[in-house]
Structure 1
Amino acid sequence: SGFACAVAYYGGGMLEAIAETPKCEVMAHFGERDSVLPVDGVKRFAAAHPEVEVFIYAADHGFNCDQRGSYDAAAAALARERTLQHFRRWLG
């Protein structure tokens, strides 16, 4: 694939690709109140891909963007720490 790892925030397009197999180590962050990507779809994705680290936060779509009204500082900080751990693990 050319990638050692990947991290997705909000996961646009992931449900459409649910039948595909990731070609690198993947982590994904979702908001449980996301109206763009409903949490039931996220749970289906997680069940189909136990090899993907999926985290669901008590937050809305866009929780990581501090320029949006849906920004959630606590969820963003936790997602960032998990993302950095993922990169350290797979990239060194």
Structure 2
Amino acid sequence: MAETEAEIRARKERERDELYALDISGAQWHGAPGTEAHEERVEIAYLPEGAVAMRSSLDPGTVLRYTEAEWRAFVLGARDGEFDLEPAPEGGGTEAGGTG
């Protein structure tokens, strides 16, 4: 029997709440190969059940957490170029690629 939209929403909210309730104070953070600990970089930590936490080295107190499914979708999207940056517009800054 397929889940209703309300059941899916409730399950995803429960999964998010459980993920953010995890104590990650002892997490081992990883940066991209070739970067140094003092450099500005994105860092990730692997959590139970395939989940992943992500933070900026400049703001290590702000941590985003993703379920295994969310992380897989992000990685596959990045590999497909969904998040490639377009050249900076004349006014400066950058824009994410894609249509939407």
TM-score calculated relative to the size of structure 2: 0.24
Q: Quick one: higher RCO (CA 8 Å, sep 6+), 1 or 2?
A: 1
